Amino acid sequence: MNLILMGPPGAGKGTQARRIAERYNIPQLSTGDMLRAAVKAGTSVGLRAKAAMESGGLVTDDIVVGIIADRIGEADCAHGFILDGFPRTVAQATALDGMLTERGLKIDHVIDITADTEALVTRITGRSTCSLCGEGYHAVYKKPAVAGECDKCDGTLTTRADDNEETVRNRLTVYHQQTAPVIEHYRNGGKFKTIDGMEAMDSVFEKLCAILG
C-alpha cells in the first residue's frame, strides 16, 4: 500500500502517519524529518536546505525529489510507504509520477487532512516533541506531567525552530500558494479522499483506517 498524506502544516499528517506506519507496518517517509536530520548532521543537502526551512519557505524540488527517489528504493519500502509532506509542489507530484512508473509502482490512496488556518497557528506554536521517542505534546491541549519532560520515556521535549508564529504564517501562505494546487493533480484520479483534521486525533485515525481498510 502506497499512500500520500496531504494537508497544511499542523493538520496532523506527521502524527497520523506515525500511527498508520505502526498499524500497517510500512515506513513513514517524512521529507521534513529527513531534511531536519540532514541539517542537524551538516550534510551538503542540509546546508542547501537550511535557509529555506528556517524562513518557512520550500526547499528546492531537485533536493526533495532526490531524497524521495533514493528512499523509496530502500528495502523497507518494498511493501508500501506513507509519504508525509511530499509532494508539496505540482513539479514534485509530476516527478513522483515518473519515478513510480519507472519502478512499476502506483499510489493507492491520496488523503487530504483539512484544517482551519487560525486553529493551525495555535496548534503549531504550542507544540513540542520528545527528542527520544517522538511523542507529541502541546502547551494547551496535551501538557506533559512534568514541564519539558516526556511522559512515556526519559526524553526531553524540544520545539522546532520553524514553529514560531511568523514562520508558521509564512509556511501557511506557502502551502496555499504552492501545495494546495497539488490537490488538483490528484483530485480526479478516484483515489483522493478528504478528512476533517479539526476532529479529535483518534477520530481522524479511525477514518483513515476505514479508508485504508
The residues annotated with a catalytic role in the active site are 13, 88, 127, 160, 171
Member of 19, 123, 127, 171 binding ligand AMP (CB under 6 A)? 171
Q: Which residue has the cell 496532523?
A: 12
Q: Shortest gap between Cβ of 213 and ligand AMP (angstroms)?
A: 26
Please tell me whether residue 93 binds ligand AMP under the rule CB under 6 A: no
Return the residues of window 42-71 that contact ligand AMP according to CB under 6 A: 52-53, 56-59, 64
Separation CA 199–CA 50 (nearest Å)? 33
Contacts of 207 (CB under 8 A, 6+ apart): 195, 199
The answer to the question of residue 127 lying near ligand AMP (CB under 6 A) is: no
- The residue (of 91 and 105) whose beta carbon lies closer to ligand AMP is 91
Cβ 167 to ligand AMP shortest distance, Å: 8
Q: Is 169 left (phi over 0), alpha (psi -120 to 50) or beta?
A: alpha
Q: How far is the CB of 47 from ligand AMP (least distance, A)?
A: 14
Instruction: Decide if residue 207 touches ligand AMP (CB under 6 A).
Output: no
| Residue 31 makes contact with ligand AMP by CB under 6 A | yes
Q: Is residue 182 a contact residue for ligand AMP (CB under 6 A)?
A: no
Least distance from C-beta 141 to ligand AMP, angstroms? 19
Cβ nearer to ligand AMP, comparing 35 with 195: 35
Of the candidates 73, 87, 82, 76, the one whose C-alpha atom is nearest the C-alpha of residue 23 is 82
Which member of 28, 46, 86, 185 binds ligand AMP (CB under 6 A)?
Answer: 86
Give the interface with ligand AMP as residue ranges (CB under 6 A).
9, 31-32, 35, 52-53, 56-59, 64, 85-86, 88, 92, 162, 171
